[in-house]
Amino acid sequence: MVTAQFRLLGSVEIANGRHTFALPATKPSVVLAALLLHANEFLSNERLIEIVWGEENPRAPRNPRSSLQTYVMRSRQTLHANGVPGNPILTLPSGYTLEASPETLDLLRFRQLLERARRGAGDLEESLRLQEALALWRGPALANIPSDVLHREEVPKLTEEWLGACERRIDIELSLGRHRSLTAELHGLTAAHPHRERYWEQLMEALYRAGRQSEALAAYRKIKGILLEQLGVDPGPGLQRMELAILKGELPVSDPAPDKAADPARVSPRPAARSLGPSCRLPPPDRGFVGHSKIASRIADELTRVADQESAVVTVIRGAPGVGKSALALRVAYDVADLFPEGQWYLRLSDDSGRPRPPQELLGELLVFAGLRRPAIPEGQAERQAAFRTALVDRRILLLLDDAVDARHVEPLLPGSAGMAVLVTSRTNLAELTARWRLRSHQLDALPVDGSLELLAGLLGRMTVDRNRAAAVTLAEICGGLPLALRIAAAKFTSRPGQSLGEFVSWIAADPLGRLSVGRRPRISVRRAFDLSSERLGPEARRLLNAIAEARTGPVFSVEDVARLTGTRSRHAEELLEELFEAGLLQGLDLDRFSMPPLLRSYARELRADGETPRVAGTTVAR
């Protein structure tokens, strides 16, 4: 039997060997995260209330203890639904505690491995134990938990534990003569933590011992400038001693002898650890990600070849609204992050209304990522583009550009130097970009029913889906295999604990477009996702989308079918269909045949262009 595991070192998750459940950003999740942070310790009601609502928060309910009891009950239900045996949350007088062990909580495992590293038999074993501990980190701690108190008081302490372990591992790697492999990582760490002087000392040592004395001294001048300009202080004694040792030639340049304190036969072999650490700029990966494993593997393989390319590797993931492009891109980015030790950067290219953000603004944000202070960023787009490409020379960075509108939106952001990789998501196929750059493009389709059920199992719990399989299949069909629709449905169902899945599915089926949304004025909804694509269409294409939906078309239709339906020439019908396909609002089956998913068809029936009802011939089209 697989033991359920709690994960805090990244987004907070529960993994039970079959699926992983990421906690939603709710107050019950805050309570559970707080109990996990203080596993096997007593947390008083007063402290939990402070963590959930903050100090003197006017939004706190009149009876916060009653609400707290409800949140604890919901946390217990979440644990049970995700295969956690027994009841690890214990009620104590005036508070609670959660029982865990290093086998069930990654934070305790991390600390256990650090202690074993300290007691290890020599540098080699200590290094391996530290690598194993750091590999437990999947990103910033508590990334999905909405608590100002935890992020202000607890996360910095966790981050400090990570930084300290990372410093010690690098010290050992330097002592083992592995300085050449550390320089790229240390460039990334100094950029992410510019005031942490120990990382600069290590960078200077690694560069000098790799025969790069001028770069080592340039690193000292850089950190000296940063400290004087930003803090008004001189470098500390450690940095000053390092500079003096380099100037006097007192550091060894050649590799030292292999470590003899540790007996390699006593150390179990492990693969090299992947450690994102707190510097990762990627948002947390979507919880319960499933499907598209073949495309994910192909994209990861393309990105692993970055070292063999003479210029940046660019990969495009395209697909319909809500099909899961961003989730796939994030999953691949996390999978290959260890290849890009100097940074994994995320940039959303559109604003909340779906309008493209100006390239000049985006370049400014990227230059901040690259380490430039805002006063030093040039004004013009051309100057910013040149500064951006200069800043990335000889750096190993992964750049994820999310929701590109067209090729002109993306091209100014593409770096030219080798060692870089760029992942782009878009509703269109960015054909102009493909023509001008050597890139690969991947079409992402909706999930099949089995994939939809697997995603629902990750969101609702395997037991819920298995016990209500017929209702779950119906829900998957209503959602058309769109991960966005499935996630919204799961979020709404879990907010209605007294309703059966069958009752919920019947309620959704009565108005899928209206009810697959979150909030009173929903920004997260299937209709809104379709709006963002249809608003980019010309009036004729919008009328055609409505005409196809209103007519009695079969699931598949051709260019000639649409020409007859609208009374236009085949060439003009083909151009309009191509516009709809480019916008991700039709599925292309071959050169002249298309289909429209049922959920999108429901949306398109409501669509009008400039208030005009389209004229159609009333022909039935079927294949």
- CA–CA separation, 478 and 550 (whole Å): 19
Residue 436 reports pLDDT greater than 80: no
Fold of 1-168: Arc Repressor Mutant, subunit A (1.10.10)
Task: Report percent pLDDT > 90 for the chain.
Answer: 32
| Mean pLDDT confidence for 101-128 | 88
Dihedral, CA atoms, 502, 507, 509, 511, nearest 10 degrees? Answer: -170
Homologous superfamily (CATH) for 293-444: P-loop containing nucleotide triphosphate hydrolases (3.40.50.300)
Contacts 24+ apart (CB under 8 A), 360-364: 360/384, 362/412, 362/413, 363/388, 363/412, 363/413
pLDDT in tens, 360-414: 999 998 888 887 777 778 888 888 888 888 888 777 889 999 998 888 888 899 8
Look at residue 490 in the predicted model and tell me its pLDDT.
87
Residue 355 reports pLDDT greater than 60: yes
Residue 85 reports pLDDT greater than 50: yes
Residue 438 reports pLDDT greater than 80: no
Q: Picking from 27-36, 147-156, 226-235, 401-410, which range would have the lowest pLDDT averaged per residue?
A: 401-410
Could you tell me which of 133, 154, 135, 132 has the C-alpha nearest to residue 143?
154
Residue 615 reports pLDDT greater than 70: no
Q: Which class is 537-606 in CATH? A: mainly alpha
pLDDT in tens, 442-472: 888 888 898 889 888 888 888 889 999 999 9
The reply to whether 293-444 shares the fold of 177-257 is no
Task: Report percent pLDDT > 70 for the chain.
Answer: 88
pLDDT in tens, 506-521: 999 998 888 888 765 5
Identify the residue with better confidence: 273 or 295: 295
Which residues, 6 or more positions from 388, have their beta carbon under 8 angstroms from its beta carbon?
363, 366, 367, 370, 413, 415
Average pLDDT of the chain to the nearest whole number: 83
Q: Going by DSSP bridges, is the β-strand pair 13-15/593-595 parallel, antiparallel, or unpaired?
A: unpaired
- CATH number of the domain located at residue range(s) 177-257 in this protein: 1.25.40.10
Token pair 């008004």 is found at 232
Alpha helices in 212-305 (DSSP H): 213-230, 237-248, 293-304
The listed range with the strongest mean pLDDT (34-43, 82-91, 490-499, 583-592) is: 34-43
Look at residue 252 in the predicted model and tell me its pLDDT.
67
Residue 287 reports pLDDT greater than 60: no
Report the length, in residues, of the chain: 623
Q: Picking from 287-301, 311-325, 604-618, which range would have the lowest pLDDT averaged per residue?
A: 604-618
| Mean pLDDT confidence for 56-79 | 87
Look at residue 617 in the predicted model and tell me its pLDDT.
38
Which residues, 6 or more positions from 547, have their beta carbon under 8 angstroms from its beta carbon?
565, 566, 614, 616
| Mean pLDDT confidence for 268-291 | 53
pLDDT in tens, 229-248: 999 999 999 999 898 888 87
Q: Picking from 248-262, 279-293, 408-422, which range would have the lowest pLDDT averaged per residue?
A: 248-262
Per domain, the residue ranges of the chain are 1-168, 177-257, 293-444, 449-521, 537-606
- CA–CA separation, 385 and 413 (whole Å): 7
Alpha helices in 254-317 (DSSP H): 293-304
CB 508 within 8 A of CB 515: yes
Token pair of 222 as six digits: 């850089």
State the sign of the Cα–Cα–Cα–Cα dihedral 408, 412, 416, 422. negative
**Strand, helix or coil for residue 602:** helix
Residue 616 reports pLDDT greater than 50: no
Helix H or strand E segment including 597: none
